[in-house]
Structures are given as C-alpha cells and as structure tokens.
Amino acid sequence: MTASFSAPGKTILFGEHAVVYGWPALAAPLPQLRAYARIRRLNQPLTVVGSDIPPSVWHLQPRMPDSNDPIIRMVELTRRQLQLPQLKGEITLASDIPVARGLGSGAAVSAALGRAVAATAGAAITDRELNQLVFQVEKLHHGTPSGIDNTVVVFEQPVYFIKDRLPEFVAFASSLRLLLADTGIVALTREAVAQVKRLRQTRPKATGAKLRRIGEIVDEARACIAEGDMAQVGQLLTENHHILRALGVSSGDLDSLAQAALAGGAKGAKLSGGGRGGIIVALVDHVTEARVREMLLRAGAINVIAATVGGDVG
C-alpha cells in the first residue's frame, strides 16, 4: 500500500533579513512547486530514499542519537514527538523545488517527511506540531532561522510573520502575478545572515535604520495589497531590493535580473530569500509577463517560474 504527502515551496515577498531582528515579513506558499514523501508499508526497519537529494538512502536505526543530518533529525524528532514505536516501511522523497535558492526546499522536504513518518505508524501530526519540528531542523540548515520558512510551508498560507509571535495568516484581497527568475547560483542563507549581523556590529545606526525601513515597507505593502494598489506594491518591492543591496546581500547577478525585469515593464523586482544568489521575484501582469520573461532569460536567468499568490489563485 502506498500513500503520498507533500508540502509547497515558498517565496518571501517582503522583509527577509529584517525579520531576523524582530521586524515583520510577508511570505506566501508556492503551491505548484512541491516536495513529496511517498510511503510504502513494508515490514522492515524504516528506510528513506531520496530520488534526487544526496545521499540517497538513509537506514534508520530504532533510535538514532541526535544527528546533524536533516533527514535523520526530522524522522527522529517526529518519532519522539508522537511517541511512535519502531518505525517500519520505506519513504521515497522527491522535490521539484530548486535547492538553496530561497524557495524553502529544505523546509518543504522536512514537512512532507514528517507527515509521512507519522503515517507509517498510522498516526497523524497536527500542523502546529509539525511546524515546531521543521523549525528545529531549519536550525541545522540556517543556524538561527526566524521561523518564517517553516511557518509558510507547513500551514501553506500567506503569512504576516513576526519572530516569536503567533503567525498571522493573511488573505490577500488581490492576487500577485510573479515571475521567479533563478540566477542558478547556490547561496547559503547562513552566510548572508552572518553578513547582516557583521554590518549591524560595525555600523549599528545606519544598519538599524535600513532594517527599520524594511519593516515599514512590509506594513505599507500589506496595506497596498489589501487595496489592490499593485503599482505601489511594485515600487515597494524595488525599494526593498535596494535596501537589501545596501545590506550587502545582493549580487551582480541578482541586480542584473532585477534591472532586466524593470526594463521589461515589471512593476517592481527584488531578490527573495537569503540573497547572494538564488532568485528574484518580479511583479508582472498579463500585459507585461511575456516581455519580462524574455528579458529575464536574456539577462541570464537559468529558469523563470510563473506563480500567482493570494487572491483568486489560478
């Protein structure tokens, strides 16, 4: 017998990095990009097989000591949380979310895996429980994550997020049509976060002002999305990108893609996620989308993914 579980990728619309210091951020799930965990009920100790995530096979012992491997950690955390007996069966992981591009791939794999582990033992895990466990695993990936990735990915809803507070799920009155353009550059969020931390130590006043402005942008953007003022949402995206660049977390490739999107008629563009590589998001509409896509590919994007977030999602 087989069963399949999944979780979406995510994109941070506004507020990354500042969110680490207590300012709000806005993020949304990307339901069309997903990680999957398929279970086979076999009478053998649990094996996890990754079809495209090396290393590709994990043999789970009855009780694993605290491992730094995110897959083993997620299985063990789930087992302990739900007080499951010895785990049996086989779980196959697959994902169509590009890895280390700020799209929430790690959190999505953990979330799908946690649901599958519970199911192998005939148990269910609540989203609240799962969110806490995925957050623990995110620490292995990122060091000191704010918790935004796991929250969006597990609850699969747009969120207005402030660290250490209960997440506020927001229904966007108007949908945002986005193009996500991939630089193809793998970047470590942990290093980008460390860069902002250093800047905060060496230039506390100027850096604090930049982070505060990002927080204000998030609140302004939330109001503009509610009013359907997409021109202003676009302006705020671009302003947010410029501040991230001033914080040292952009790159030549990200700046070129953001420029190309604007030149193609996008209402706004910014890097999304940790930065230094990964993706930019560009706000488009049905008139500008094809041209912006063409400009992004011409500027060197290795892939451009269209996504509609919020509102009447199609």
Binding mask 86-105 for ligand PMV (x = CB under 6 A): ----------------x-x-
Nearest one of 263, 259, 225 to 242, comparing CA atoms = 259
Which of 10, 31, 15, 100 is closest to 270 using CA atoms? 15
Tokens representing residue 179 in the block: 């193009």
Could you say whether residue 240 binds ligand PMV (CB under 6 A)? Answer: no
**Shorter beta-carbon distance to ligand PMV: residue 73 or 276:** 276
**148 vs 283, which CB is nearer to ligand PMV?**
148
Of 193 and 237, nearer to ligand PMV (C-beta) is 193
| Contact between 145 and ligand PMV per CB under 6 A | yes
Q: Which of 56, 35, 39 is nearest to 98 (CA)?
A: 35
We find the least distance from the C-beta atom of residue 64 to ligand PMV, in angstroms, to be 25
Provide the 3-class DSSP secondary structure of residue 133.
helix
Q: Does residue 274 belong to the site contacting ligand PMV (CB under 6 A)? A: yes
| 223 contacts 235 by C-beta, under 8 angstroms | no
Site string for ligand PMV, 188-227 (x = CB under 6 A): -x---x----------------------------------
DSSP states of 148-177 as a string?
A: HHHHHHHH-S-EEE-TTS--EE---SS-EE
Question: Which H or E run includes 206?
Answer: helix 204-227
**Which of residues 118 and 148 has its CB atom nearest to ligand PMV in the complex?**
148
x-or-dash pattern for ligand PMV, window 18-37, by CB under 6 A? -xx-----------------
- Count of residues near ligand PMV by CB under 6 A: 16
**Angle at Cα 129 formed by Cα 59 and Cα 102, nearest 5°?**
75
Q: Nearer Cβ to ligand PMV, position 11 or 120?
A: 11
Q: What does DSSP assign to residue 251?
A: -
Regarding 276 and contact with ligand PMV (CB under 6 A), the answer is: no
| Closest CB 146 distance from ligand PMV, rounded Å | 3
Query: What are the residue ranges of helices labelled H in 228-267?
Result: 230-246, 252-263
For the chain, first and last CA: distance in Å? 32
Give the span between the Cα atoms of 223 and 203, in whole angstroms.
31
Tell me which amino acid residue 242 is. Answer: H
By C-beta, is 145 or 264 nearer to ligand PMV? Answer: 145
Is the Cβ of residue 118 or residue 279 nearer to ligand PMV in the bound state?
279
**Interface residues toward ligand PMV, by CB under 6 A:** 12, 16-17, 19-20, 102, 104, 142, 145-146, 148-149, 189, 193, 273-274
